[in-house]
Structure 1
Amino acid sequence: MRHRLPHLLFVALCGLAPAALGNLLHWSVWLSGFMCMVTASGSLLLVMRLTSGGRRPAAPHEPGPPEPPTLPTEQPYEETRVVDAALPSAADGYDFLFSATVWWKPTPDHAARSDGAFPVLAASSVVRRAMEVVRHEEPGRASFARYLLEGELGVPLPDLGGRVRALAADVTLTLAPADRERLRKLQDLRKDEEVWEHERLHEVNKRRYFGDDVLKSAGSAVVWWLTRHEDDIEKAVDMIGPLAQIAAAANDEEVSELYRHLLVPPPGTRSETTVGASRWDGPDHEQETGVSDRLGQLLTAMGLKPGMDGYTVLVLRVTQTLDEAGLPDAAEEIRRTLLPTPDEYDADPPADGDRDTDTDGFTPEAQNREAEQNTGRHTPHGPAAPHSRDETGS
């Protein structure tokens, strides 16, 4: 109570001061009373603020806060290494090479024990965890799997026996150089095969498009050509024959009778060179009519027969032309088939005895010259009667 007395005196003085001041200044009673109440209230609040200090003082009988319990000192992590541990991947025969720094410490239940197997347990625990992560990853995804390992192995976890807690840092995951080279080659081959397969499918689609749609008939081929050349109608008319021929070949059919007159070249017309080539160079030339047979038919149609000078002259000229054209085989066949041999000349000598009966020096050139000299003596339909020396004016 004694320590409150100065405070009360301070409040009373503050409350009476306005009354004394109002008496000197001749204030009204109401104003003096109001001012006294205001100053007394303000001084009282000020004293209460100063005495309380903004907080309630603790009671002398309240106990203080309990002291925190002393925590046991935590053991630091120790370090060991895992170098190039082979971990299986999703592909048989391709193993990852795993390396990392292993940080470990004993669990609280085994902290008092000093066991030399703790580093081995910690390394095996990390390797086992790493194997569970990468066993489903493809060998070509080693870089991606390394980030997965860093996340999984960065958390300290106990081993299966609960004796050590281990985590891993500085993780590396690679493949052997030979495996990397094999994977690169296989990847290149797989990409090339995919490109080849797409090209093959594209070719198959084009063949199906042309075979089943464009070249289904001559009309569809012409329509397809017109869509590509809308402004060239006259050319389209000229292309009807070739397109009909192509459409028939695509369907293994003969050209329709409607388009045969438009074929190029028209059917039944073959050049002499084509005939010779089909005879000597074709795969089935044994079954075709030979050049000598065709020439013999032509000579027969012209009325020329073997033994006639015109027949011999024409055959020799044909053989000479074939030799100059670079077709010696055809020329030799004609000589062997259509020209008489020296024995035939010996067996049937000329009746007038004017010709040389010695056939040892007989050559096709000599026969050609002789036939040309005697050509004028015969009619187109057969040989004339032999003349005597007197009739020729000798």
Structure 2
Amino acid sequence: MTTAQRTTTVFLTVLCGLLLSIVGLTQQWPTWKWTTLAALLLVVPVAAFRIASLRRGSLPVSFEEQLTASPVERTECHVNQVRLPSLWDDYHFVFSATVRWYLVASPESASVLNPAGLAVEAVLNRARTITEKREPGQASLVQHELSGALSRMCPDPTGHLQAMAENISLTLVEQDQERLDRLAKVRKEKAVWEHQRKYEQSKRQYLGEDVLKDTGSAVVWWLAKNDEHVEKTVADLALLAQLTSAANDTDIPERLHTLVSSQLGEPATPEILADDPAPTPRERTAADHLSSFFDAMGFTEGDIRRPMLAKQFSDIIKQQNRHEPAEDLLRRFDPPATFTPHNGEESNPHTEERDEPPGTPLM
């Protein structure tokens, strides 16, 4: 029976005794009834206590068992601006936190302790095992990691107390943060420069090994770049030949010397310079340019590829709504050529120039 139960039993016994006494006085009980009442008031509480002890067991209830556990006393101290190592040498995290602890029961023979020092040491050791494996650039992430790892009460190595930390702050030294920012900027710029260098190398390789491999490759590339404008491509043959030769560090092929000299306005042979007076050159047409192009490519007169390519070029020019140059190409190359003994060259009646001046009647 607990103390509260005993108190209640005594109180009820006294209350019943008072009620029965009032009743006895009003009824004028005889002496034997008062004696019986007094005996009952003494016997009933004793019997109740006895029955309660038998129901609980034979073991007595000690006073210490009835006491509630004493509250755990926790104390705290603040740790400020403590440097912790990082994964990189000479780069340190700056650690600040509130350290809390409570003492664990220790033997009476234990020496006098400084619990604050033990608690701080235990917390710093736990924090250092984490920070020394982390890069300094991850300070904000490591701070949250420490908040979780140090939020639990754990015993210190001596076993005298348990400690934890809260309100954790983890930063870098200002100078170290500036160095990391500069390093990150350099790495980014280096990555951009590497990409630019690789792009330029790829472009040079493409131009040297594909576009400017020879004059034919340069002509096809230039034709595609100028939207298949045949006249412009043919007009630039001399430039392309010189560019290809310069890119490959070679001389211009002999078969292109005449073409290059004529397009650059240079004399083709010394014999032409000796002519006096020199004939006034007429304006070159698309057919003339295409003929020079065929000669430069090695498509000699009578080659079946000349009329075939001329027909394709004519179709391309027609798509640009330039019908007159297209028809000129067909008249020059597509129909069967008429051979006449005129300086040993092929002449076409459709394109042969008239020697008579305008207005002179034909005989």
Q: Normalising to structure 2: TM-score of the pair?
A: 0.53
The number of aligned residues is 213
Residue pair 1:87, 1:98 contacting (<8 A) in 2 also:
yes
Distance 1:111 1:122, change over 3 A: farther
Counterpart residue identity of residue 261, structure 1 = T
Instruction: Decide which of 139, 146, 167 is 1:149's aligned counterpart.
Output: 146
> Aligned equivalents of 2:209 and 2:187: distance in 1?
32
Match of 1:185 in 2: 182
> Aligned equivalents of 1:174 and 1:263: distance in 2?
72
Quote the sequence identity (%).
37
Residue pair 1:260, 1:267 contacting (<8 A) in 2 also:
no
Instruction: Decide which of 74, 97, 100 is 1:100's aligned counterpart.
Output: 97
**Deviation for aligned residue 1:145:** 0.8
- Equivalent residues in 2 for 1:249-264, closer than 5 Å: 249-263=246-260
Gaps of 5+ in 2: 1-51, 268-273, 275-363
Gaps of 5+ in 1: 1-59, 271-300, 302-394
Could you say what secondary structure the match of 2:55 adopts? coil
- Equivalent residues in 2 for 1:168-183, closer than 5 Å: 168-183=165-180
**Deviation for aligned residue 1:208:** 1.1
Counterpart residue identity of residue 78, structure 1 = T
CA displacement 1:22-49 (0-9 Å, x = unmatched):
xxxxxxxxxxxxxxxxxxxxxxxxxxxx
**Deviation for aligned residue 1:261:** 2.4
Match of 1:233 in 2: 230
> Aligned equivalents of 1:164 and 1:264: distance in 2?
100
> Aligned equivalents of 1:259 and 1:127: distance in 2?
84
Residue pair 1:87, 1:96 contacting (<8 A) in 2 also:
yes
> Is 1:73 aligned with 2:70?
yes
Q: Normalising to structure 1: TM-score of the pair?
A: 0.49
Residue pair 2:147, 2:166 contacting (<8 A) in 1 also:
yes
**Deviation for aligned residue 1:260:** 2.4
Match of 1:200 in 2: 197
**Deviation for aligned residue 1:268:** 10
> Aligned equivalents of 1:111 and 1:261: distance in 2?
115
**Deviation for aligned residue 1:240:** 2.2
Match of 2:243 in 1: 246
**Deviation for aligned residue 1:194:** 1.4
**Deviation for aligned residue 1:62:** 9.2
Match of 2:155 in 1: 158
Indicate the structure (1 or 2) with the bigger Cα radius of gyration.
1
Residue pair 1:242, 1:264 contacting (<8 A) in 2 also:
no
Could you say what secondary structure the match of 2:159 adopts? coil
4+ long deviations beyond 3 Å: 60-72, 108-116, 264-270
> Aligned equivalents of 1:264 and 1:135: distance in 2?
76
Match of 2:129 in 1: 132
Residue pair 2:101, 2:162 contacting (<8 A) in 1 also:
yes
Could you say what secondary structure the match of 1:258 adopts? helix
Counterpart residue identity of residue 150, structure 2 = L
Could you say what secondary structure the match of 1:100 adopts? strand
> Aligned equivalents of 1:127 and 1:264: distance in 2?
86
Residue pair 2:238, 2:259 contacting (<8 A) in 1 also:
yes
CA RMSD of aligned residues (A): 3.1
Distance 1:179 1:110, change over 3 A: farther
